[in-house]
Amino acid sequence: MNSKLANLLQMFRDVLPARNMEELEQRLAKAQEKKDLPALAKIYYDMGVHCMKNGDPNRAMMYLSRCDCIFSSDDDVYEKVKESVREDCSKRIGELEEMPLLTNQIPEQIEEQAEEALSDVQVRVWGLLTMARLVQVGKRLSVLPACEVLGDLDEAVDLILRSFREPISEADFRFLADTCNELYELGDEASFSDLTRQVEISGAAPIQAFDLNGLLTLTELNLYFDSHLRLLSEGADNSAAETGLIPCALLPDYYLRTCKEDLSEIIRVKQEVERIQADYEFVSSEITWEDIAQRIAEYKELDILACC
């Protein structure tokens, strides 16, 4: 068979519906290698549809959200993905958001607890505790192209904590503002969705930047920083505390991509759910800033991807 005919046959196979997930994963690997983002978006869409049809809504949400992130992040990619795919992807995500999935239930529970029982500062501290647990994850991913800002979470956590108790310098404020902006800009970097790049983890599967729940964790980090900067510059009346960051250390995309079990059965997910609830009880109790500082220091050293 000559190469031209082989290429035509491959092109024909690529437009046919995949028969199983293994075939889709093979197509995915090829699209990743070629850095073909429109093809990558379509394959993620197909994987999401496959999972919905086969009773795996958690992974369906992950794949469809990845599809949405890829075609939404670039106008050229958006135009190359069929309108029917874009519309059905959004429709399916909307359906999944109404289902009783762990990734829907935990944020809803957090929001209810925050509204019913916590002050503005308590909610902010709750979110900061999650950011502290993302420090080691950020350090890992900061070695990837354009992801250097994720290595700044360590210093940022300390500055935010200190700013609750005393004024910070103009330089420190600028550092937080720059970090906020860089987190926002990272989502538009082509290298962020380059899924051929990943970081090895001893005793666990490699992690990709896109494992930060697509763009969700970047978005929630940006919103937390933005809210805190407005708190420091404008006061509490002009800045509501954000709860969206609190569940982000669950990292469901990473575990759904690398594990076969149901999300709720994965031990590291269970541990993080327990930490979220323990943090709620912690911020609800009679604690001092020294107590908070100690807990944050411990979390900054915690490798949530390796602990079992």
- pLDDT for 277: 98
- pLDDT for 135: 98
Residues linked to residue 201 through DSSP beta bridges, in sequence order: 204
Listed as own residue / partner, the contacts of 153-160 with beta carbons closer than 8 Å and 24 or more positions apart are: 153/221, 154/300, 156/131, 156/225, 157/128, 157/131, 157/132, 157/296, 157/300, 160/128, 160/131, 160/228
- pLDDT for 19: 59
- pLDDT for 34: 87
- pLDDT for 222: 97
Q: What is the mean pLDDT of each run of 10 residues along the chain (308 residues)?
A: 46 50 90 89 95 94 93 89 96 96 96 96 98 97 94 98 96 98 88 80 91 93 96 83 96 94 93 98 97 98 82
CA dihedral 31, 32, 35, 41 (to 10 degrees): 60
- pLDDT for 307: 54
- pLDDT for 190: 72
Q: What is the DSSP letter of 212?
A: T
- HSE-CB at 33 with a 13 A cutoff on CA atoms is 6
186/174 Cα distance (integer angstroms): 18
- The angle that helices 216-234 and 153-163 make with each other, rounded to 10 degrees, is 30
- For residue 65, what are its two tokens? 């959200």
- HSE-CB at 304 with a 13 A cutoff on CA atoms is 32
Q: What b/e string do you get for 6-24 counting C-beta neighbours within 10 Å, with b at 16 or more?
A: eeeeeeeeeeeebeebeeb
- pLDDT for 10: 46
- pLDDT for 175: 98
